[in-house]
Structure formats: C-alpha cells, structure tokens
Structure 1
Amino acid sequence: MSGGNGASKTGCVVVFYRPDSACVERANRLARIHPVVVVDNTEQRTTPDFLGLSPDIMYLPIGENVGIAAALNRGIEYLIKQGMSNALLFDQDSEPSKTLLTELPELMTGRTAGGERVAVIGPAYDDVRLGGVAPFVRFRYLKLERVPPEGKQLIDTDFLITSGSCINLQCWREVGPMDESLFIDFVDLEWCVRARNKGFRVLGVPWLTLAHELGEAPVKVLGRTYPMHSAIRHYYLFRNAVALMLRREIPCTWKSTELVKMPGRLLIYALLPENGGSHLRMAIKGLYHAIVGRMGRL
C-alpha cells in the first residue's frame, strides 16, 4: 500500500457491517484514488474475493461486531504502519466526490505543514430528509450555536461527524484512539472534544459536502425534523450521552444542551415509532447502564 507523494500520503478507512454490493463498489471506487483499508464488522467472516473487493484494498475481517470505534482504530493503526499522514474515514454507505477526496487531504497537509495544530478537517453533511446541508455546531449553554456552511474560510467547530472526515495522523498518539467503550454513538464527538482539549483545531470546510443519512426515516414534531433510530440505537444514544455527561473533561456547555433535549427526545422516541414502548425501555436501560458504568457492546 503506497500513498503517493507527500501531499497525498492519505489512506481511507471504510467500516463494513453486512455490506451489500453497492457498499463494495463504493469502496472499490475509493481505491482508484487513495489506498483503502476495509474493516469488516460483519459477524460471519468472508474473503475479499467473495465480496468482490478490488485486490488493491486491504481487507481486515473482524468476525464480530466490535463497534465503530474499534473498527476505526484498527484501520487507522494499519494506515499509520503504512506511513500515511492522513486518514479519510467513511461509513460503508458514504459517497464522497472526487473533489472531497483530493481537497480534504490537501487542506490538511497545507495547514499542518506550517506547524498548525489541526486534528481533523471535514465537510458539511447533506441529509435531504432532514432539510439539506446541516450547519456546523459549537457548544453553548442550553443551545448549540449553528454556523451556516458558507464562504471560503475554514470554520472552527466543536465536532465533526466521523464519515467524510480527514484525520491528521501526526496527532493520533497525542490525542489517543477512539473510545471503544462507547461502541457506536458519540464516538466522533468524544474524540473531537479530546483533541480540542489538547490544543488541536477541528475545522469544517463549508464548500465541501458529503451526502449522509442519519438514522432511519425521520419524524417531524412541531415543525422540527428528528432522525429516528432503532430501539438498540436509542440504548446507545441515551447511555453514551449520560456517560459523557458524567465525565469531567466534557464541556459543561454540551452537557447543558443534552440535558435540555433529553426529556423531549424520550417522549418523541416513546410515542412516535411503532413499538414505542420497546424504544423507551431500551433508552431507560441505557440511562441505567451509564449510571452504573456498564459500557461497551450491549
């Protein structure tokens, strides 16, 4: 696996979980531009040939679902061993443009070459079901500050979603790996907070977007659209939110906004989906597990 010249010593990590042929084709397209490592969380082991992956792709089958954080960590460690300086991270359903794939690493390399402490750079995400391109966010008391993705200047933000982001691998040892105890939700937020606490910047690129769907079919309540998830995802969402609230290093600004939102979310997820009772039970189970410190995979 070779990353090319200095400006493009960039590899991609793609996390698979029960991928279909479209996921495989997306990974193959990535491999035409950057070296790619696929970390497969699918429970049943298979081979890259059986899936139809390009022979240029490094395939790491785990044989169990170890969670998004653990899968990303394994892929990133592999890229570091290959001498990469940047890592582009993707979910299996992400469809990045060629512009995003080339421009994000170039922006990162340009910033860090002069000694600037940047941990991660990422695009705005575009979920047409939730109203289009989402703003970048900064943590404020009781309410997030939403920064429109406009202009030609990079935007300091408090966190970026994992998929589509470009991590500076020079800072990986200092910041540390993704928190595997969270398993899936808030993994990106926790890592970005840790990076910022260590003096690194988290930068949004307003002129680049990535099509990305959050959760399942969203619901609309009082004019606002909320992403809907499965009951098991609501377990992780509520558990990890409370677990992070209990950590001293997480900003009180973020904690305050989560506390304000939580009762309304519990109500929405209990009343609106089919089998709302199971959603409520899983959310409450998550809250309890956070308080008693039961983390990792359910």
Structure 2
Amino acid sequence: MHGGELSGESTTPRTGAIVVFYNPDTACVERANRLAAIMRCVVVDNTPSVLTSRELGLSESVEYVSNGENVGIATAINQGVEALIRDGFEVAILFDQDSEPPASLFTELPMVIARANETGDRVALAGPAYDDARLRGVAPFVRFKWWKLERVAPEGDQPIDVDFLISSGSCVNLRWWSSIGPMEDALFIDFVDLEWCVRAKQRGCRVLGVPWVHMSHELGGEPVRILGRSYPMHGPLRHYYQFRNVIALMKRSYMPRAWKTTELIKLPVRILIYSLFPGQRLLHVRMALLGLRDGWQGRLGPYCGRTAER
C-alpha cells in the first residue's frame, strides 16, 4: 500500500461523494449514477431551473438537492458536506459534474485520511494529481513561493505537502471541517478552494497531494498557445470572478504574502492575454476590469451586472 499501512483494527472511514451540477447533460447524470452505485452520493444542482431527480434521470440512491439558481460552487459544496455530516460520514470526495475519477481514487484517498486520523496527524485534505492532455499532461503540485509558484512533480509513494489543491477529486477530512469552517459563500467561484486550503493550514492542518493517484481533469477552459506555452481560458464572466476574488483575497492579512507576490506578477500578464487572444476581447477586458474594481471595493457574491458569457 502507498503511504504506509493501516493497523489491523483500522477501517476505511465512511466516505461519501458530492457532485455539483450546472446545466448537466446526459453524460453528467450517468457519471453521478455510476458513482451512486458504489458509494453515498449527494448531487447539488445549481442549474437555474427546478427539476426533480426523476426528470433528470438520476438514480433513486442519489440524494438530490436542487437550488433552482446558481448559488455558487462554495455554497453547493457546503450543502453537500452538511448532508454527509448529518448522516455520520467522515470523509467527503468533491467532484465537478465532468470529473472522471479512477477507481483507485475511491480507496487510496480515504486511506490517506484514515492513516492520518489513526496517527493523530491533522490532515484536512488529500487530492490526486491532475492529468490534462491539453496542458502537457500531468500537472505538478504547487507551493507558494515569493514571486513564483514552486511546482512539485507528482512522483513517489508518499503524500506531498502542498499549499492548495483544486476541489474536484479532492478528499475532505470532515473531522476538521467545523474547526476550519465551510467554503466561503461570498467568493462564489474561483479561488474558493485556495482560500479554504489557506485557512486549513493556518489552523494547523496539512494539505496533501497524493502522487500515485491521477485523475483526468480539464484545468480551465479551452487553452490558447502563446510562445509555445498553453494557457487555459474561460468566458468573460469567469474572468470577472477570477480578477475580483484575487484582489479581494490580496487585501486580507491572513493570505500568504508569497502567494500575493505571484498574483501581482500574473495580473498584468492575464490582462494582456485577454486583450490579444480570445474572441470577444473587449468583453473579456471589461469584465476583468470590473472584477478588479469590485474586488477592491469588497463587492462579493454573484455578479449582478449585465449578463456576460460564462
């Protein structure tokens, strides 16, 4: 077994899954149903309409929460976690609706959490390495360093201490959920996972990358290539949230200064990329600048201006 053996008296913690929907297609529903066949599955639907689980085609074993509106990824995750805690679950694995986890993820990540709990190690989160063929294959794990992120190769048979993990595919140790606190609803989307990881580490917990588990996941939208390097793109509205939330978080004293320096370097580069390469260049730049303004003024929550392309 990777990462050390559990004692003979140990058991794998009760593990449930949370899947967040937003305008899901048939393939998304089928993934959730396959997941529900092997473990407890809570689907939280942020689609701006009210449907029943039967209308969607979800299995009866899925616990379905329909919000009837997009309340954001943070709130949706919090709703799913609350449902699992209510029913006595110890671990929650988080998924986007298009996540394609390997079978090993469902055993290996909870076992990392179980071993930590057994030894008294305060591990808040364990997550896989992410394989995105569009962005040169398996992405490195990340630590905050001054002016530049440290990229750590996902290699070896021991968990790796990192500074944050993206939410999809990550395994939350619910033992520490109440002491860390829920995901921040007001951030809505983008940097939600990063901010939670920072809080977890400040409360004495560890965030672990598990290098021997790889999950296929597209990190961002369709990338553009610039000087031989691929950069993931999003729609203008997502760029609004990215710029708004990074500025809002940079103003907070508890956010690591090393992370702030890397974002100071990235912000003008992102503006330049959005002004030159994607379609709807002016709208991308406009939404980014609106995000900068609202982040500085502390306006969080869902975007309330004119509708922009997602």
Per the normalisation by structure 2, the TM-score is 0.93
Q: Which structure 2 residues correspond to residues 231-250 of structure 1 after superposition, within 5 A?
A: 231-250=236-255
Residue 271 of structure 1 and its aligned partner are, at CA, apart by 1.1
When the two chains are superposed, the root-mean-square deviation of aligned CA atoms in Å is 0.9
Q: How many residue pairs were aligned?
A: 294
Task: Letter of the 2:12 partner, please give it.
Answer: A
For residue 144 of structure 2, the aligned residue among 139, 143, 157 is 139
SS in 1 for 2:223: strand
Residue 224 of structure 1 and its aligned partner are, at CA, apart by 1.7
Task: Letter of the 1:9 partner, please give it.
Answer: R
Task: Letter of the 1:174 partner, please give it.
Answer: S
Q: 2:69 — aligned with what? A: 64
Q: 2:262 — aligned with what? A: 257
Q: 1:24 — aligned with what? A: 29
Residue 8 of structure 1 and its aligned partner are, at CA, apart by 3.7
1:204-224 superposed Cα distances (whole Å, 9 cap, x missing partner): 000111111122210111222
SS in 1 for 2:12: helix
Separation (CA, whole Å) in 2 of partners of 1:6 and 1:14: 25
Task: Letter of the 1:84 partner, please give it.
Answer: F
Separation (CA, whole Å) in 1 of partners of 2:119 and 2:66: 38
Q: Decide which moves more: 103-112 or 255-264.
A: 103-112
Q: Which structure 2 residues correspond to residues 70-219 of structure 1 after superposition, within 5 A?
A: 70-219=75-224
Task: Letter of the 2:298 partner, please give it.
Answer: G
- Give me the identity figure in percent: 59
Q: 2:308 — aligned with what? A: none
Task: Letter of the 1:217 partner, please give it.
Answer: E
Separation (CA, whole Å) in 1 of partners of 2:173 and 2:72: 22
Task: Letter of the 2:16 partner, please give it.
Answer: G
Q: 1:117 to 1:8 in 2, by over 3 A?
A: closer
Task: Letter of the 2:136 partner, please give it.
Answer: G
Q: Does 1:36 align with 2:41?
A: yes
In structure 2, list runs of 5 or more residues that go unmatched. 1-9, 304-310
1:28-86 superposed Cα distances (whole Å, 9 cap, x missing partner): 11112210000000111101111111111100000100000000000000100000000
SS in 2 for 1:265: helix
Separation (CA, whole Å) in 2 of partners of 1:55 and 1:237: 36
Task: Letter of the 2:185 partner, please give it.
Answer: E
For residue 12 of structure 1, the aligned residue among 13, 17, 22 is 17
Residue 107 of structure 1 and its aligned partner are, at CA, apart by 1.5
Residue 6 of structure 1 and its aligned partner are, at CA, apart by 4.5
Separation (CA, whole Å) in 2 of partners of 1:27 and 1:162: 17
Task: Letter of the 2:277 partner, please give it.
Answer: L
Per the normalisation by structure 1, the TM-score is 0.97
Spell out structure 1 runs of 4+ moving beyond 4 A.
Answer: none
Separation (CA, whole Å) in 2 of partners of 1:31 and 1:113: 27
In structure 1, list runs of 5 or more residues that go unmatched. none
Separation (CA, whole Å) in 2 of partners of 1:215 and 1:165: 17
Q: Decide which moves more: 171-180 or 211-220.
A: 211-220
Separation (CA, whole Å) in 2 of partners of 1:63 and 1:70: 13
